[in-house]
Amino acid sequence: MDRVYIKCCSAFSSAAANWNEAYQVALEMGDSTMQLATARLEELLRVERAFEEAAAQGAMRIVTMDPNAPRSVPKELLCYRDMNIFYRVLPDGRSGRNIVATLRGVLQSRSASLTVPLTSLLMYRGIPVLAQALAPFGTEPIKIYGDGAESDPEVAAEVEIIADALRTPLPDQVLCEVYRSLDGRMYVTNTNITTIALDDSMLIGSPLKRPEMLALCPCVTATCEDTLSVLHNAVVMEALWRVLDAAVDQQCRRLSDTLHFYGVNLCLLGGVLDAFAERYGDAADDVQRFTEVVAIEMIARTIKQEFYAEVQAKRLGVDEVGVNTCYARHLRAALHSEHRERFSQLVLRKYAIDNGSGHADGLLRVLLDVRRDRCSAIVERVSWLIGACSAPSADGAESRRTVAWAFLVAGRITPCLCDPKLMCSLEPLYRSWRTGEAHCFACCYPLQVKVAMWQGRVGDGLNLASTAVEQVTARYGNTSIRAVQAQRTFMKLLFTIPSLENVREAYSMATCILEVYKDHAGPITRAKCHIEVGYCLLGASAVMNVVGEAARHFQAAEQLLLLASLRSSNGAWLYLQPSLGLVRCRQLGQQDGPVPLKALVADALYLSRAAAPADYCTKYLWVLGMELAAERHYAESAQILTTAYRMAKRTQRTRLDVDRLHGDTLRVYSDWDPEQYAAYCTAIAEGARVP
């Protein structure tokens, strides 16, 4: 699948919305405090929802074969692209959900160096469409890991760390396609290291044990045999019992959401029912009510699957009358009295329920009763599952109704573990959960450290981070990527608690980390580490005079990024970070720094023309312009701030205070020459367009 996506990325356009960049910037937002982590989650969800709204318009046109649909990809079947979005019509929904789940696993692992393109699975009129934001891979994509590529040691180490973090054993044949993009990021486009097939096969269409289950439930092991052991967890069973507390019309949705949250595939509803009856067998009324809820869900999902199978096989989505007729026919087959026995047996077969223990007869009676007494609830649930609703007919007659279709989002890549509240609730579990050293090093310790710092338990956080460094180093050695990552975490914590001793220890660790990276990491990873160290030093400048040292790290990062060809529109997000660091050095009093402030102006103007309008670029121009004004370089300041203002006005969905930037620009012109620029300032103040 990734071959066609990579091919389409060569058509990436800087003139269209860069959805992938917006999502990656949100992923890279800081989360050192609970407030920042919450803001990061909100931004991720905002970008993802906006992308889905945009992609849905193209997906619906593709399904209906609208003349204005996205263009098909030459020589590729059922693949389309438009406005930096790649679309692929899939043969079935499960394969699409599995693709999304495998990519989501990379993000759930909180990989230090690998990411994935923004991806969503959309459904419209029963047709699954995978939508992926294009990334700037260029006309000659650089494959750095996978078939046909020389193995990159940094990526190879990260693949093992991801598997450890997710508790997914590496398969005998590792599939992991990684490309280096022109924006400096390394993207996983296809992999089998983040999920476990329930039938122990490599088939992408088979049900999967997903990372959510392994992360949330200690009783689940990383094999394909014990999927339903998650239901032995008291917390999970209590969550299922609470389904009965929901309003009657919300119980099925609550059941589905609960099982999805814990990574339980809905094809296992029979096992869910058995586990509930086993645990709450003494409460016969609750078991009966829960069985009825499960029966409604089974019937609704069976209708959905039968409907989807026909629609997807015959591509009926293009024909509104045809798809509506198909829907009506499957509802009749399920709910009409003459088909009741045959359909009920179909439900039992779908969920692999036999009469070995007498369960089938009891469930069959419930299915028949629910089908007779809760017909409207079943229709409502099916309609919600497939995105259908009743609407007036085209002729406007009230007595005649038709079916209106809406798009559904069937899969997203943002992991639930991005939610800081969930992380805090899991921290006590991870404190007592010992699954193995590798998992503790890659997942448990980092989560515990982060939550401890959020909650103000600084001593606990430092002790955990120090212990992790000692144990990881003892197991993997000083020069391993794993040890370096643990050291970076500890180093950043030490810098956040500024004392002379902490700063000295942290800086000595930074020196060792950079030495290891010289031999085991690429220039971009090394540049990012230099930038990280530089900003940490700036934060500790009140304790030690380290501003000059910070400036040297920013300069080293600039040189590495130049070597990596990131002084470009795609790499501007990273290339501007050391430049911003140098400006911060000037703000902290390093007036005789190694780089004059005016020397940054030419680079800033070049990148403002090359890069697409974005908040990170506007913010840098704003800071640079104000610092130039503070040093009375008014001509350069006015030019930079005017450029920043223009960019802010062109940036879609900007989160910056444009009015404040507007006022700062006005003040600089006024301070420069109030008489000469009085009319110009008045025009700006009145909201006129800056020429």
Q: Are residues 24 and 83 in the same domain?
A: yes
pLDDT band at 399 (very low <50, low <70, confident <90, very high): low
The residue behind tokens 């990989």 is 111
In a shared domain, residues 158 and 249: no
**pLDDT tens figures, 55-114:** 999 999 999 999 999 999 998 999 999 999 999 999 988 889 889 999 999 999 999 899
208 SS3 class: strand
pLDDT at residue number 349: 86
Do 175 and 248 belong to one domain?
A: no
Res. 213: pLDDT tops 80: no
> CA nearest 451: which of 423, 470, 429, 476?
423
Residue 652 CA to residue 189 CA, distance in Å, equals: 27
In a domain, residue 402? The reply is: no
Q: What is the mean pLDDT of residues 638-655?
A: 90
**What's the pLDDT score for residue 274?**
87
Give the separation between CA 486 and CA 494, rounded to whole angstroms.
13
What HEC string does 21-38 produce? HHHHHHHCCCCCCHHHHH
Same-domain check for residues 252 and 127: no
Q: What is the pLDDT of residue 590?
A: 58
Position 38 in a domain: yes
- In this prediction, residues 147-160 reach a mean pLDDT of 88
Number of residues that make up the chain? 691
460 and 454 in contact (C-beta within 8 Å)? no
pLDDT (average), residues 194-210 = 57
What burial letters (b/e) apply to 42-61, b meaning 16+ CB within 10 Å? ebbeebbebbbebbbbbbbb
One domain for residues 155 and 233: no
Q: With 50 as the cut, is the pLDDT of residue 238 above it?
A: yes
How many other C-beta atoms are found inside a 10 Å radius of the C-beta of residue 105? 29
Residue that has been written with the tokens 């069976």 in this structure:
302
pLDDT mean over 204-220: 62
Residue 79 lies inside a defined structural domain of this protein = yes
* pLDDT for residue 8 is more than 90: yes
Give me the percent of the chain exceeding a pLDDT of 70.
91
Query: Do the domain assignments include residue 300?
Result: yes
Q: Which two tokens stand for residue 619?
A: 């913010």
C-alpha distance from residue 166 to each of 193, 418, 440, 589 (Å): 9, 14, 10, 46
Judged against a pLDDT cut of 80, whether residue 521 lies above it is answered with: yes
Same domain, 173 and 322: no
Please tell me the distance from the alpha carbon of residue 100 to that of residue 107, in angstroms, as a whole number.
11
Last residue of a domain, which of 360, 386, 412?
Answer: 386
Q: What is the pLDDT of residue 241?
A: 93
Task: State the CB neighbour count (10 A cutoff) for residue 266.
Answer: 15
Single-letter residue type at 44: L
pLDDT of amino acid 218: 64
**Phi/psi of residue 358, nearest 5 degrees:** 85, 5
Give the tens place of pLDDT for each residue, 527-565. Answer: 999 999 999 999 988 888 888 899 999 999 988 888 777
Least confident of 360-369, 391-400, 428-437, 515-524: 391-400
At residue 62, the 3 state secondary structure works out as helix
Considering the chain, what is the average pLDDT of its residues?
87
pLDDT of 601 > 70? The answer is yes
Structurally, the chain folds into a number of domains equal to 3
pLDDT, residue 201, reads: 42
In a domain, 401, yes or no: no
Instruction: Verify that 150 and 6 share a domain, yes or no.
Output: yes
Residue 47 tokens read as 């970008």
Residues 6+ apart with CB under 8 A from 617: 572, 573, 576, 607, 608, 611, 647
Cα 145 to Cα 189, 193, 195, 341, 644: the distances in Å are 11, 13, 19, 54, 39
In angstroms, the CA 544 to CA 538 distance is 10
pTM above 0.85, yes or no: yes
Whether 265 is covered by a domain: the verdict is: yes
> What stretch of H or E contains 158?
helix 153-166
Question: What does the pLDDT read at residue 234?
Answer: 81
Chosen domain end from 370, 386, 402: 386
Positive/negative CA dihedral, 473, 475, 481, 485 = negative
d(C-alpha 457, C-alpha 469), whole Å: 19
Q: Which residues contact 483 (CB under 8 A, 6 or more apart)?
A: 469, 472, 473, 476, 477, 516
Say which range, 118-132, 178-192, 500-514, 551-565, has the weakest mean pLDDT.
Answer: 551-565
Same domain (yes/no): 179, 284: no
In the chain, pLDDT over 90 holds for what percent of residues? 51
pLDDT band at residue 39 using 50, 70 and 90 as cut-offs:
very high
CB 368 within 8 A of CB 335: no
Closest to 255 measured CA to CA, from 219, 198, 221, 301: 301
Amino acid, res. 525 = T
pLDDT band with cut points at 50, 70 and 90 for residue 674: confident
The boundaries of the domain holding residue 681 are 596-690
Q: What is the mean pLDDT of residues 450-454?
A: 94
Which residues, 6+ apart, have CB-to-CB distance to 22 below 8 Å? Answer: 47, 51
Average pLDDT over residues 147-171: 88
Residues 129 and 51 in one domain: yes
Distance between CA 239 and CA 246 in Å, rounded? 11
**172 and 231 share a domain?**
no
Q: Are residues 244 and 160 in the same domain?
A: no
Residues 48, 187: one domain? yes
Tell me the pLDDT tens digit for each residue of 460-506: 999 999 999 999 999 999 889 999 999 999 999 999 887 899 999 99
Question: Residue 376: is its pLDDT beyond 60?
Answer: yes
Classified as helix, coil or strand, 107 is helix
Q: Name every residue whose Cβ is closer than 8 Å to that of residue 520 and which is 6 or more positions away in sequence.
A: 153, 154, 157, 479, 481, 484
Bridge partners, 191 (sequence order)? 176
Domain membership of residue 310 (yes or no) is: yes
What digits encode the pLDDT tens for the residues 317-365?
888 889 999 999 999 888 887 777 788 888 888 888 876 555 677 888 8
Confidence tier at 643 by pLDDT (50, 70, 90): very high
Residue at which a domain ends, from 144, 172, 194:
194
Residue 600 lies in a domain: yes
Q: CB 327: neighbour CB atoms within 10 A?
A: 24
